[in-house]
Structure 1
Amino acid sequence: MRGIIHGSGEKVVLLTSRGRRIGGRVALGLVSTAVVGVTGFAWTQLSRLDEAIVTADVIAPSAQVPDGPAGEPLKVAQNILLVGIDSRTDTNGNPLPQNVLDALHAGSGDDGGDTTDTMIVVHIPAGGAGATAISIPRDSYVDIAGGFGKHKINSAYSRGKNAAMNTLRAQGLSGPQLEVKANEAGAKLTIQTIEQFTGLSINHYAAVNLAGFSALSEAVGGVEVCLNNPVQDKFSGASFPAGKQLLSGPQALAFVRQRHGLPSDLDRIARQQAFLSSMAKTVLDAGTFTDPTRLSSLIGAIQGSVVLDRGWDVLGFAQQLRGMSSGALKFQTIPVQSLSLPTPSDGDAVKVDPAEVKAFVKSALNATSVAAVGDSTGGIGIKPVAATSSIAAPPSSSGASTPPAMAGCVN
């Protein structure tokens, strides 16, 4: 991984080469369902998404945006929250078979905990020709919405879900139906927490679980990655030589899930980000939408892997983004002050400053000079925040590091 550290004081911002630094697997949901500029056969195939896509009622009415005219560019900027959930159930709430969990090195159905291991806010400006993706480290120590107190941000989903369980059971729900409705509650609390933390209004939501990520990577024929060194990790199942290689299915999941043997969880984010960058290129630039077999597989994988917010006309949205290319995706991460913040009950967490994060997000999106949702005067859909000091700085005593790397490869 190649890193750049800027600024003064103890605050840290890690950016990989070309500004890339995001968490990764759920962004396949965006790449696969939204970033599609196609016509003819491809568009006919994409219409199949309406047949079986799983949706959830998670976006507040105040954040919903009207559908734009079919075939015309995106009229207003939008913010999409992408999450990767450490879930052992499918999108319909059914437990994943043990043989599937074994293939994914995911333990048993009791492992995991329904935390959001990946959180990315993707900002797409009016016109739809580019996008900025901002990742949020899963262990960021923040105020959880709804009065749950201060905890790691990835726990918002499980806290919201668990809090809703008793009420839903009292209403007579059980089995997969209970799981689906509880997941909606988890998603809502996650969205509220992200909005509170970043100052952004979330207009759309997409989620993918472990099995979904594996299926999506297979559907596009694999994704090319490059490693600086060979790796062996029995926990994730990662077993790869150094150099370039094509990964899909359980191998791809192992590549982005590996934690043991990496200097920090930020290196895991870098691993995921490298995969996503390559995935975007594969889907957008490599003829996926002109290959009938590959496109059909992709649509089938999306139907069984991705949960979208209810009311999102993803086909119309995709058509509005037909001018986007992989080179138009800009990847960043929020500023981090420390990677080893002691907490009362959550172990070590990632120290972040909410005011600093809001200022960083506002600056990052202002650089795109786009119009905001509901604002034609050049805003970016961000609530006003107080001015803050420098948002980037040299490494703190937390041990964050950016080892040298071969061009295009990661650790």
Structure 2
Amino acid sequence: MSDDDAGRHGPTGEFRRERSQPLPPGGRRSPRSGRVTVPDARIRRHRNGLLLMGVLSVLVLLASGTSWAITGWMSGSLNRFDVFGDMADGDRPDETGGLTFLVIGSDSRDEMSMEDKNALSVGSTPGQRSDSIMLVRLNHERDHLTVVGIPRDLWVEVPGEGEDKINAAYAYGGPQLAVQTVESVTDVRIDHYVEVDFSGFVDVVDSLDGIDVCLPEAIEDPKAHLDMAAGTHRVDGTEALAFARTRATPRGDLDRIDRQQQVLSAMLDRAMSTETLSDPVKLTAFLDSALSSVTVDEGLDTSTINDLAYQMRDLDLRDVTFAQVPIADMNHWTPRGDVALLWDEPAAREMFAAVNADRPLVEPEPGDDAGAEEEPVPSGISLRVFNGTAAPGLGARLDGQLGGAGFDVTDSAENWSRHDVARTEVRYGPGEERAAEYVAGTLPGSETVEDDTLDGDLQVVIGFNHTRFEAPEVEETQPEEEPSEEGALATTTARDNVCG
């Protein structure tokens, strides 16, 4: 079944409003080029902005360097729709301490030129459908995001329309019926609505100068004009769109959700690891691209965005968890004779109850070691060696010894900023103390030193007391049996999804 077949069974409405064209606070428009200049440094003072937007059912989490005034401009640039105005509270799930966003990727082609349709390989089917759907939960403490992918071909009860694929709800009744349908099948209250179209996705990726995606196996999809070998690729917006939308892999929609989550992680990593958030020109260009094709509910106003920006200012890739609805049957024949997906209802109910209660999606198994941390192993520790003495060759020798023992040595050894380090140091960032102690155990006489500037990788600084390296003994373990694809609940973090 093609992408254009699903969700075609209802009338199509128009759910957008004209976008306003505000200037950034303190900015101005050039009379020659028409481009908007960025605000001055006074307005860009604080790193406290965080914007939630959707890209093909992918949430772009943007930790940006903005102040309240910039946030106000961002809010004013968004298209808005009255999603919740006619929904009676008595018919909806109860409110909880967290915030839940329904993120819709709309595949409307109506406003696209034929040239753009051909360039993006998206076809010409009229009307609007929810090409992808995600439920995004921000917990009560505002320090963790859970993103659950909902397959567009999931067979559900659409309120007032009967059984159909879940993406048909948008075609029947737009954002309101999409929200009502997701609430009815998940029993999770939707607080905010975010929608984006094809063009917005392409513009955002291009504004980041592309992203890195990686494939375990090659994909060839002539319909999407996608031909990618296995391995890591830097892709532009058009290629990333094809990568995120193709279903030319064995698990169809489920594989596509995995790729969309990888794309989201790559976009977040790219934005946070480049100058996009610190360079005013790049930030303004990024926001202008990101917001141009986004529609949100009327409640997501300046005050709400600014509050979220402040509350979520410390989130990073490790604080974003991805999952998708557990599936029981990938080849369910519907009464009308096409194929849909059936979820594993008990597992799905348990998962959404956990989302609603801000519980981790994967609980530790009960037992003596429930909740115990795994013992570090060399292959799971990334580090780099520095020579803190004047003796030549020590760094290179320890590099080879650590690499030979299985540690992930990220780069060649270099000299430390000082040559008078008395005692060997294993320097570590937040949350890496156990890994640092493990490494220190292989270097007799060394000490661990916390360094808040480090993020993930350790640093070994050789001191004058260094005498030897003792390779750790690693027990061989049998690989765990893989769970079945259908019905299994697997989670990853944004950091897990980033290539390399």
TM-score (norm 2): 0.57
* Alpha-carbon distance in 2 for matches of 1:367, 1:340: 32
Query: Where in structure 2 are the equivalents of 1:14-33 lying within 5 Å?
Result: 25-26=55-56, 28-31=58-61
Partner letter of residue 118 of structure 2? Answer: D
Matched, 1:150 2:163: yes
Matched, 1:325 2:316: yes
Contact 2:195-2:294 within 8 A present in 1 as well: yes
Change (3 A) 1:241 1:294: farther
Partner letter of residue 339 of structure 2? Answer: D
Secondary structure of 1:270 counterpart: helix
Secondary structure of 1:289 counterpart: coil
Q: 1:100-137: CA deviations, max 9, x gaps?
A: 111111122xx164221211111101232211111111
Query: Where in structure 2 are the equivalents of 1:19-98 lying within 5 Å?
Result: 25-26=55-56, 28-31=58-61, 35-36=62-63, 38-39=65-66, 44-60=69-85, 76-89=97-110, 95-98=111-114
Q: Which of 1 and 2 has higher RCO (CA within 8 Å, sep 6+)?
A: 1
Matched, 1:102 2:109: no
Superposition deviation, residue 45 in structure 1? 4.2
Q: Which residue of structure 1 lines up, in the alignment, with residue 243 of structure 2?
A: 255
Q: Which residue of structure 2 lines up, in the alignment, with residue 222 of structure 1?
A: 210
Secondary structure of 2:223 counterpart: coil
Query: Where in structure 2 are the equivalents of 1:325-344 lying within 5 Å?
Result: 325-344=316-335
Question: Where is the helix percentage greater, Structure 1 or Structure 2?
Answer: 1
Q: Which residue of structure 2 lines up, in the alignment, with residue 10 of structure 1?
A: none
Q: Which residue of structure 2 lines up, in the alignment, with residue 128 of structure 1?
A: 142
Matched, 1:301 2:276: no
Query: Where in structure 2 are the equivalents of 1:112-261 lying within 5 Å?
Result: 113-145=127-159, 147-160=160-173, 186-261=174-249
Q: Which residue of structure 2 lines up, in the alignment, with residue 167 of structure 1?
A: none
Change (3 A) 1:52 1:125: same
Contact 1:259-1:265 within 8 A present in 2 as well: yes
Partner letter of residue 294 of structure 1? Answer: K
Q: Which residue of structure 2 lines up, in the alignment, with residue 351 of structure 1?
A: 342
Secondary structure of 1:307 counterpart: strand
When Rg is computed on C-alpha atoms for both structures, the one with the higher figure is: 2
Change (3 A) 1:115 1:306: same
* Alpha-carbon distance in 2 for matches of 1:106, 1:302: 20
Instruction: Say how many residue pairs are matched.
Output: 308
More divergent stretch after superposition (113-122 vs 189-198): 113-122
* Alpha-carbon distance in 2 for matches of 1:320, 1:149: 40
Partner letter of residue 57 of structure 1? Answer: D
* Alpha-carbon distance in 2 for matches of 1:44, 1:244: 39
Contact 1:25-1:256 within 8 A present in 2 as well: no
Contact 2:146-2:321 within 8 A present in 1 as well: yes
Query: Where in structure 2 are the equivalents of 1:363-378 lying within 5 Å?
Result: 363-366=354-357, 368=359
Q: What is the Cα-based RMSD across aligned positions, in Å? A: 2.9
* Alpha-carbon distance in 1 for matches of 2:177, 2:204: 26
* Alpha-carbon distance in 2 for matches of 1:49, 1:298: 11
Unaligned runs of 5+ in 1: 1-23, 64-74, 90-94, 161-185, 370-391, 399-406
Unaligned runs of 5+ in 2: 1-53, 90-95, 361-481, 488-495
